[in-house]
């Protein structure tokens, strides 16, 4: 189980790897705004707080006004460590409710995964940018509208300091899978946007993409730790990653106050 410094480190790396469009700093809290679509880039990261209990209620109210200005709900990301320590209780008192289910952050050492077998029946293409075929494939199966896809494309373009890699898997010129890897300079490779065509599942495509990106020449000597996030209700993904060596580092969840609640 990760301790306070480890949780704060990975949350910091997440902010670098999934950069918001705009930031605002409030007594140590980091407010992130990205035109909606993804809660990771549209929520408060309360990893540090220099205020006191006399001002925390006012700060929560300020957060709500800030997100209302962006026409967004107020959302707090709450990992197993946050500041101040009773923030979750305070938010519930202010009418916040849990959004979605709890998510596990899971990690694995690259040494445990480097020698895994890749299903070579498929063609694996690697890119350094989010090419249209990645966006179009994900958009089709996620049922995101064009605006949402544009937001995610812009987010991807903001990833500059971490290295990013995209894998597109094809079979007879049909795209059957995608994966995005974001390598932070300290050796943490963040895996996101893993999706396999429904007709091609259970053929080790997801794990093959993961193993392929680790073995990619330019990244091989730089990756130390692989990490990803899985909702605990996604039993298939949870079982898959656990089976190949990933372990829970910590969990997190969101507390949200909708625009309707804020405006009452």
Q: What angle do CA 7, 10, 11 make, to 5 degrees?
A: 80
pLDDT band at 63 (very low <50, low <70, confident <90, very high): very high
> How much is the pTM?
0.93
- Amino acid 3: pLDDT: 85
Tens of pLDDT, residue by residue over 34-45, are: 988 899 999 999
* Contact residues for 37 (Cβ-Cβ < 8 A; gap 6+): 144, 148, 151, 152
**Phi (first) and psi of residue 203, to 5 degrees:** -125, 20
**Which domains, from first to last, does the chain contain?**
4-102+252-262 (no CATH), 108-250 (3.40.630.30)
Place of tokens 């205020």: 51
Tens of pLDDT, residue by residue over 226-240, are: 999 999 999 999 999
CA 79/CA 56 separation, integer angstroms: 18
């Amino acid at each position: 189980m990760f301790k306070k410094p480890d949780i704060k480190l990975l949350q910091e790396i997440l902010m670098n790897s999934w950069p918001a469009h705009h930031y605002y700093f409030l007594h140590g809290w980091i407010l992130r705004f990205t035109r909606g679509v993804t809660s990771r880039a549209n929520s408060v990261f309360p990893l540090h707080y220099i205020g006191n209990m006399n001002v925390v209620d006012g700060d929560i109210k300020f957060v709500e006004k800030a997100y209302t200005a962006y026409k967004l709900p107020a959302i707090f990301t709450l990992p197993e460590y946050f500041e101040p320590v009773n923030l979750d209780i305070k938010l519930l008192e202010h009418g916040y409710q849990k959004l979605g289910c709890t998510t596990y952050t899971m990690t694995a050492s690259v040494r445990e995964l480097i020698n895994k077998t890749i299903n070579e029946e498929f063609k694996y293409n690697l890119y350094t940018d989010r090419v249209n075929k990645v966006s179009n494939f994900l958009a089709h199966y996620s049922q995101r509208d064009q605006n949402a896809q544009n937001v995610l494309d812009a987010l991807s373009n903001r990833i500059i300091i971490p290295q990013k890699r995209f894998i597109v898997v094809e079979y007879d010129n049909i795209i059957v899978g995608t994966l995005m890897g974001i390598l932070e300079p300290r050796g943490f490779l963040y895996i996101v946007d893993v999706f396999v065509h429904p007709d091609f599942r259970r053929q080790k495509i997801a794990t093959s993409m993961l193993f392929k990106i680790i073995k990619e020449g330019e990244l091989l000597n730089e990756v130390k730790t692989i990490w990803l996030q899985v909702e605990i209700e996604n039993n298939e993904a949870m079982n898959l990653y656990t089976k190949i060596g990933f372990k829970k580092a910590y969990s997190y969840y969101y507390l949200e106050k909708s625009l309707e609640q804020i405006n009452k």
